[in-house]
Homo-oligomer: A and B are copies of this chain.
Amino acid sequence: MNWVKPLGGIGEHAATPVDPAQLDATDLQLLLLLSRDARISQRSLARELGMSAPAVADRIARLHRQGVIEGYGVRLNWSALGYPTIAYLTVTAGQGFEQGLIMTRLAELPEVEEVMIVTGGVDMLVRVRVRDHTHLRELLIDKVWQIEGIQRTETSLSVAEMKPKNTTSELLADMIRRVEP
């Protein structure tokens, strides 16, 4: 058969869900401290948490094994790096095309920070980071619109963004509040 599969073949392309890990308050505090400064020493972490450095190392290793910690990154000022512009593209896929495949093609572009299949009027939301309008235009013409199955895109350009905030820290702080009020 050859019917339309709205989410057909997504499985291989999308992130796979994970069962929530059971973490105690110390784990969350540890993650909070790391989210504020991931280069903090285990010794400093140990001091803040009131435990020994090896105990901290053990917990970090366990959080890695559990898949809670995926890695450590650097927060960069993209304006200072010459990539000040964010745009969102809404993508509508042609009937009968695998959205998962389109998602993968989009995700391969270095400028693409996120691809999500969403409910509502359009099929996908794509977040891209570019140097300027010329870069955005070239990205659309040379890369995005070349992807088979993309029927239509609309571009929303960012005119102003909020001051950068550390969402990870805020969400973790919120989780800690719910655990021990």
On whether A119 and B79 interact (CB within 8 A), knowing A34-B74, A163-B107, the answer reads no
Number of interface residues of A (CB under 8 A): 79
A75 lies within 8 A of B83 (CB): no
Given contacts A154-B120, A157-B119, A160-B7, contact A75 B73 (CB under 8 A): yes
Interface check A19, CB cutoff 8 A = yes
* List of B residues within 8 angstroms of A119 by Cβ: 155-157, 159
Nearest CB in chain B: distance from A97 CB, A: 15
Q: Which B residues touch A106, using CB under 8 A?
A: 162
Write out the residue numbers on chain B whose beta carbons fall within 8 Å of the beta carbon of A13: 160, 162-163
Are A67 and B80 in contact, CB atoms less than 8 angstroms apart?
Answer: yes
C-alpha spacing A23/B175, complex, angstroms: 39
The answer on a CB contact under 8 Å between B73 and A158 is: no
- Chain B residues with Cβ below 8 Å from A29 are none
List B contacts of A75 (CB < 8 A): 69-73
**Residues 3-26 of A contacting B (Cβ, < 8 Å):** 7, 10, 13-15, 17-21, 23
Q: Considering the complex, which residues of chain A in the window 29-88 have a beta carbon less than 8 Å from any beta carbon of chain B? A: 31, 34-39, 66-84, 86, 88
When the two chains form the complex, which single residue of B68, B120, B129, B157 contacts A76, counting CB atoms closer than 8 Å? B68
B69 touches A117 (CB 8 A): no
Let me know if A150 is at the binding interface, CB within 8 A: no
Q: Which of B14, B66, B72, B110 contacts A163 (CB 8 A)?
A: B14
